Amino acid sequence: MTTMKDLRTLEVWFVTGSQHLYGPEALAKVAEHSQVIAQSLDKNSAIPVNVVFKPVMTGPDAIRSLCKEANNSENCIGLILWMHTFSPAKMWIAGLSLLTKPFVHLHTQFNQHLPWNTIDMDFMNLNQAAHGDREFGFITARLRLARKVVVGFWQDADVISELAAWTRAAVGWNESQNLKVARFSDNMREVAVTDGDKVAAQARLGYSVSAYGIGDLVAVMNQVTDADVDKLVAEYRETYSIAEVHDRADSIKVAAKIELGMRAFLEAGNFGAFTDNFEDLHGMKQLPGIATQRLMASGYGFGGEGDWKTAALVRTMKVMAQGLTGGTSFMEDYTYSFGDSPIILGSHMLEICPSITTEKPSLEVHPLGIGGKEDPVRLVFTATSGPAVVASLVDMGNRFRMIVNEVNVIPPAEALPKLPVARAVWLPQPSLKVAAAAWIYAGGAHHTSYSQALNFEHLEDFAEIAGIELLRIGKDTTIEQFRKELRWNETSYWMNSTSGH
């Protein structure tokens, strides 16, 4: 069962700019070339949505109409803009000023190589993106528009990869505009970083966040039939390994009922993400463990202790990553191993998504130690090794800030026989010493969205579209430079702040 929608229902529009100066013959060529490029991108499996060719733009009225059409199209998630010839950019002011969909500026040329022996003025007049795209670049800079600029021959792997990353960011942005987050209870009392301005979040990022009493969820749980519980328990037994000591039929039944109830609640309300809080579980016998893990695996975002920002981020990143190798999960920096090569053990009380492992999870029942409820059922596994990112979204009072750390996930040094939770072990770049200091200077949360499918570029493109601050902690980070960046950003956001966020 998945909550994901088919990305092939979404479209990116391929729009080429020109003008009437060159005559109908040249414009026909421009259209022909654009169609070839659009079709080639559409067929490329790296770009997960349809790329739709649009007529060549030659005047301000057509450009404005097209931008309005894009705004109103449910399926259009963004535009690829390219100036094959010179397209006087004042023509673009009206359209771009009202465009609400993101765009990428593709700076390419139909021909890869210069035809040294045959090049003449006709060729020069037709293939002038080199200066046409500079004119267009000026107006996007002059209007201070959010955008990504991709440079290179349209068949080159790096160009495809950069367009693909941006397309996924646009997919994430589209999801964010339509996302509903359900909170079962409020934030954990007195916790700061998981809270924030939900009005600003909706205004800036699009998603709506609503709280529900646990009683509302329990009422749905109580409607779950025994037959459905038995069916889900059978699925657990088929999917996971269960050691005899953990084969506690009553506990497993309770867990299955919680999953079915939560799933029904989230489906009925068309939610894409949710939070819970172990301080408030009235009428529930266990803190949701396996339920939350499996809901995440089927695409829901989740944040523990009422953390709605991380829940929304996990969901957005899951949708962005759809179809890529590697999972995405709610995560928490839990504990360290210092020494020669300091590492982080990431985990949570229970709620780590099994999409981040290729091993068969072990279903286990252990006491929780906090919350005062019955022993919760959970899936225990270790995350697959390889590169990953952890991302945190915090509310700085006048803006949202995203902090991203690039990390390398490694196998645990030893077996962890007594650790009753799913986990990931990683080396943060450039080192734990620098990464953790930078993270703390930036105010990054202990909760993150962890992804092995996405990389920094996906999140960079998303942050650009969303207009939020982005801080990268990676192989080139130094504390000296990072602290300057924090100071400069502070000034920049104060000077440009209009609405608080």
By CB under 5 A, name the binding residues for Mn ion: 304-305, 332
Inter-residue contact 258 to 287 (CB < 8 Å): no
Q: What phi-psi label fits residue 445: left (phi over 0), alpha (psi between -120 and 50 degrees) or beta? A: beta
Please choose, from the candidates 168, 84, 180, 158, the residue with its C-alpha nearest in 3D space to the C-alpha of residue 124. 84
DSSP assignment of 441-482 = HHT--SEEEEESS--HHHHHHHHHHHT-EEEEESTT--HHHH
Residue closer to Mn ion by CB (options 49, 312) is 312
CB of 305 to Mn ion, least distance (A): 5
Residue closer to Mn ion by CB (options 83, 345) is 345
Q: What's the Rg (C-alpha) of the chain? A: 25
CB of 287 to Mn ion, least distance (A): 12
The Cα–Cα gap between 85 and 129 comes to 5
The Cα–Cα gap between 467 and 19 comes to 31
CB of 345 to Mn ion, least distance (A): 14
Residue closer to Mn ion by CB (options 304, 326) is 304
Residue closer to Mn ion by CB (options 269, 371) is 371
Q: Which residue is nearest to Mn ion (CB)?
A: 304
Please choose, from the candidates 328, 374, 379, 324, the residue with its C-alpha nearest in 3D space to the C-alpha of residue 351. 379
Inter-residue contact 24 to 47 (CB < 8 Å): no
Residue closer to Mn ion by CB (options 332, 406) is 332
Residue closer to Mn ion by CB (options 299, 346) is 346
In total, the chain counts a number of residues equal to 501
Give Cα separations from 411 to 131, 333, 363, 382, 450 (angstroms): 51, 16, 20, 8, 16
Residue closer to Mn ion by CB (options 96, 287) is 287
The Cα–Cα gap between 245 and 173 comes to 45
Inter-residue contact 72 to 31 (CB < 8 Å): no
Residue closer to Mn ion by CB (options 48, 346) is 346
CB of 189 to Mn ion, least distance (A): 13
CB of 300 to Mn ion, least distance (A): 17
Residue closer to Mn ion by CB (options 188, 434) is 188
CB of 447 to Mn ion, least distance (A): 6
CB of 330 to Mn ion, least distance (A): 9
Give Cα separations from 241 to 247, 258, 292, 364, 414 (angstroms): 10, 20, 18, 9, 21
Q: Which residue shows structure tokens 């009753």? A: 420
Residue closer to Mn ion by CB (options 48, 304) is 304
Structure tokens at 185: 């209870």
CB of 187 to Mn ion, least distance (A): 11
CB of 372 to Mn ion, least distance (A): 17
CB of 370 to Mn ion, least distance (A): 11
- Angle at the Cα of 119 (from 118 to 124), degrees rounded to 5? 155
Q: Is 144 exposed, middle or buried (0-12, 13-18, 19+ CB in 10 A)?
A: exposed
Please choose, from the candidates 224, 235, 228, 243, the residue with its C-alpha nearest in 3D space to the C-alpha of residue 284. 224
Check the CA dihedral 176-177-181-186 and report its sign: positive
Inter-residue contact 193 to 446 (CB < 8 Å): yes
Kind and range of the H or E element at 258? Answer: helix 249-268
CB of 334 to Mn ion, least distance (A): 9
Residue closer to Mn ion by CB (options 304, 376) is 304
Inter-residue contact 81 to 106 (CB < 8 Å): yes
CB of 349 to Mn ion, least distance (A): 7
Residue closer to Mn ion by CB (options 11, 332) is 332
